[in-house]
Chains A and B, each alone.
Chain A
Amino acid sequence: MAIPGRSRPATAAFYAAVAVIVVYTVFPFYWAVNSSLQTPQELFDVTWFPFSFSFGNYAHVFDGQPFGRNILNSVFVAVLTVGISLALSLTAAHALARVRFRGRGLLLLAILSVSMFPQVAVLGGMYELIRSLGLYNSLYGLVLSYMIFTLPFTVWVLTTFLRELPRELEDAAIMDGAGPWTTLTRVFLPLMGPALVTTGLLAFIAAWNEFLFALTFTLSDSQRTVPVAIANFSGASQFELPWGNIMAASVIVTVPLIVLVLVFQRRIVSGLTAGAVKG
């Protein structure tokens, strides 16, 4: 299939470039699926296709360790983080986008700069905070700490989106007798679906994959989230890394993300281009 207005070699080069990008992005995940379906013996050779289709690794993951519990923990933490982040950032964004007050620009910059600190830099302080709140080794402690990196960008994205909504829409709501809360929930919120889905999904992925805080702020296996649990998988001996199990577990926790993204695909795209479309 030639692209109209382009020569054959150019078209060939274009598709070659596409192929390279696809391989580059998809290969690691394929490799994980591939490894997860092989027996430990097969793993020592480089095989490009899992001829044996052994599901033993998958069964093994749930054997003798609370991996199911870990998944539920991750779901709980990620969902709660997303819910609280969106609720807080929606109200914050409304103030930052639609209310004129002194120091608004400075506040926005401060929020952005919070997200620039590397996680390690806040680890110590966060640890003390969580200890003093009695949230050590608790999933709520994780939710609290995750909001330090989800809130800055949810606030920013929602603020940008709210700013794009026409002022006359708000004026019309005011003339109709709506206060700020009614305007936000009944006029703006229904128009913000794409932005909420996009930011919510990104926050979900960030919380779902987080490792450092989860490792530091939880102690017992029953409070672990998936990334830490996977890292703690141990093999038959101290010197064996259970690759097959790790890969199987990775696939198990990645698939829900892929499904989520596919389900919301159309709304994500419209969310990312939201600024270009007027309500």
Chain B
Amino acid sequence: MAGIVFDRVSKRFGTAEVIRNVDLDIAPGSFTVFVGPSGCGKSTLLRLIAGLEDITAGTLLIEGCPVNDVAPAKRGVAMVFQSYALYPHMSVYQNMAFGLSLAKTDRRETDRRVREAARILQMDHLLERKPKDLSGGQRQRVAIGRAITREPKVFLFDEPLSNLDAALRVQMRLEIAKLHRALGATMVYVTHDQVEAMTLAEQIVVLNAGAVEQVGAPLELYHRPQNRFVAGFIGSPQMNFLPGTLAAAGADGVAVALAGLASPVPAAVAPDGQAAGAAVSLGIRPEHIVVGDGVAAAGPHGRIALVERLGSDTLLHVATQAGHLVVAAGAATKARVGDTIRLGLPADACHVFAADGRALARRGATEA
């Protein structure tokens, strides 16, 4: 088990600064997931840990030792690549034994480790096959197996499941979680899939344009996003944002005046130094908007422009006087396109973001 620490790490490719001043703590034995939009530097951050890219500035520590100048194979780190990157001319066995043979590991020990990895991943019967004779899921297993045989302290995964079909992805996701429990090694995992991130991670790192936006447990990011970017990125369907101004700011909450609404919407957040009159945006998740009879007449209302029935839920796209809102109305809703609907925005479900995107601290939000 090994902890990883980024101490003000930056990475430049030529003049392009791809990783900016990242400070990050990854606890030994934890499962950390990097998420962020495409091109934000997730893979680069992972490759910095692996040693496949040089660090431009700052220090990277593994188990407390600076490893900026340590060769990739000497860091006790193994990586599983998105394309699997199996050696096409070698059998499954040889693929898994290659690293060990380069490290001049004793032949019996190599054999033991390869067979152990094959047993863990239930692919004992595949050892003599070539990668081209394997299915996508099996190749993925071999790639993971190759990492396991090296008995690394840190596993790195770069979108390992993105080439698999949906059913297989769910299955492999569970296996990776199981593997983490069984091996107890530190795992760092890159994905752009929300579900993978929320289900696998003990700690999620949200990246944007090479900088860390927020680090936290999955539900913490869901309930207490520190800024508008994280609020919009975590959660599906995406959080709604309505532009407004701060009508009142007091110790027990604020109220946000929205366009076209007679009375301001109360929100259970601390003013955090914002005064009445400041431009803010009000955020609320589709699943937290209330529909139906009990809704106060003062809330936003509007015509349903689009209905998306997902089976387990129904999404209503509503054009209100305050702006466009997506509402998760439950599978049983009878709402149809063209209906006029009233919406309730519960004060303790509202997020408020200052003009610079920073979130005002929520008061007593329910979370795990």
Which A residues are closer than 8 A to B by beta carbons?
A: 166, 168-169, 171-178, 182, 186-187, 190-191, 279
The answer for the CA separation of A172 and B142 in the assembled complex, in Å, is 13
* Given A187-B87, A190-B89, A191-B89, A172-B102 contact (CB < 8 Å): no
* Given A177-B99, A177-B102, A172-B81 contact (CB < 8 Å): yes
* Given A168-B83, A168-B85, A174-B103 contact (CB < 8 Å): no
Contacts of B81 in A (CB 8 A): 168, 171-172
B82 contacts A168, C-beta separation under 8 Å: yes
Q: Does B5 contact A (CB under 8 A)?
A: no
User: What's the least CB distance linking A170 to chain B, in Å?
Assistant: 9
Query: Which B residues from 39 to 78 make CB contacts under 8 A with A?
Result: 47, 50, 52, 71-74, 77-78
Contacts of B103 in A (CB 8 A): 177
The answer for the CA separation of A17 and B94 in the assembled complex, in Å, is 51
* Given A174-B72, A174-B73, A175-B50, A169-B87 contact (CB < 8 Å): yes
B73 contacts A172, C-beta separation under 8 Å: no
Q: Does B114 contact A (CB under 8 A)?
A: no
The answer for the CA separation of A263 and B320 in the assembled complex, in Å, is 75
* Given A190-B89, A191-B89, A175-B79 contact (CB < 8 Å): yes
**Residue of A173, A174, A176, A178 with highest tally of chain B CB at under 10 A:** A176
Nearest residue (CB) in B for A166 is B83
Contacts of A166 in B (CB 8 A): 83, 85
Nearest residue (CB) in A for B71 is A177
Contacts of B78 in A (CB 8 A): 175
B52 touches which of A174, A176, A182, A191 (Cβ 8 Å): A174
Chain A-chain B contacts (Cβ-Cβ < 8 Å), number? 56
* Given A171-B52, A171-B79, A178-B87 contact (CB < 8 Å): no
Nearest residue (CB) in B for A193 is B89
The answer for the CA separation of A50 and B212 in the assembled complex, in Å, is 84
Which B residues are closer than 8 A to A by beta carbons?
A: 47, 50, 52, 71-74, 77-79, 81-83, 85-89, 98-99, 102-103, 146, 150
Contacts of B146 in A (CB 8 A): 172, 176
User: What's the least CB distance linking B101 to chain A, in Å?
Assistant: 9
Contacts of B47 in A (CB 8 A): 171
The answer for the CA separation of A168 and B163 in the assembled complex, in Å, is 15
The answer for the CA separation of A172 and B86 in the assembled complex, in Å, is 8
B85 touches which of A172, A178, A182 (Cβ 8 Å): A172
Contacts of A176 in B (CB 8 A): 73, 98-99, 102, 146, 150
**Residue of A175, A178, A190 with highest tally of chain B CB at under 10 A:** A175
11 residue pairs bridging A and B, Cβ less than 8 Å apart? A168-B82, A168-B85, A169-B87, A172-B79, A172-B85, A173-B98, A174-B72, A176-B73, A176-B98, A177-B71, A177-B103
Contacts of A191 in B (CB 8 A): 88-89
A279 contacts B88, C-beta separation under 8 Å: yes
The answer for the CA separation of A191 and B86 in the assembled complex, in Å, is 12
B102 touches which of A168, A169, A178, A279 (Cβ 8 Å): A178
* Given A169-B87, A187-B87, A175-B99 contact (CB < 8 Å): yes
* Given A168-B81, A168-B83, A175-B89 contact (CB < 8 Å): no
The answer for the CA separation of A174 and B146 in the assembled complex, in Å, is 13
Nearest residue (CB) in A for B104 is A177
B77 contacts A175, C-beta separation under 8 Å: yes
User: What's the least CB distance linking A100 to chain B, in Å?
Assistant: 10
User: What's the least CB distance linking A190 to chain B, in Å?
Assistant: 4
The answer for the CA separation of A90 and B85 in the assembled complex, in Å, is 22
User: What's the least CB distance linking B114 to chain A, in Å?
Assistant: 13
Contacts of B79 in A (CB 8 A): 171-172, 175
Beyond the given pairs A172-B87, A175-B72, 12 more chain A to chain B contacts, judged by CB atoms under 8 angstroms and listed by A's residue number, are A166-B85, A172-B81, A172-B146, A174-B72, A174-B73, A175-B78, A175-B99, A177-B72, A178-B98, A178-B102, A186-B98, A279-B88
User: What's the least CB distance linking B33 to chain A, in Å?
Assistant: 20
User: What's the least CB distance linking B236 to chain A, in Å?
Assistant: 29
Contacts of B102 in A (CB 8 A): 176-178, 182
User: What's the least CB distance linking B133 to chain A, in Å?
Assistant: 15
The answer for the CA separation of A168 and B89 in the assembled complex, in Å, is 15
User: Which 3 residue pairs spanning A and B have beta carbons closest together?
Assistant: A177-B73, A176-B99, A168-B85
Nearest residue (CB) in B for A169 is B85
User: What's the least CB distance linking A7 to chain B, in Å?
Assistant: 41
Contacts of B85 in A (CB 8 A): 166, 168-169, 171-172
User: What's the least CB distance linking A262 to chain B, in Å?
Assistant: 25
Nearest residue (CB) in A for B79 is A175
Nearest residue (CB) in B for A187 is B87
Contacts of B77 in A (CB 8 A): 175
Nearest residue (CB) in B for A189 is B89
The answer for the CA separation of A174 and B75 in the assembled complex, in Å, is 12
The answer for the CA separation of A245 and B301 in the assembled complex, in Å, is 101
The answer for the CA separation of A178 and B103 in the assembled complex, in Å, is 9
The answer for the CA separation of A83 and B343 in the assembled complex, in Å, is 79
**Residue of B50, B73, B87 with highest tally of chain A CB at under 10 A:** B87
Nearest residue (CB) in A for B98 is A176
User: What's the least CB distance linking B83 to chain A, in Å?
Assistant: 5
Contacts of A175 in B (CB 8 A): 50, 52, 72-73, 77-79, 99
**Residue of B47, B79, B85, B99 with highest tally of chain A CB at under 10 A:** B85
User: What's the least CB distance linking A185 to chain B, in Å?
Assistant: 12
Nearest residue (CB) in B for A279 is B88
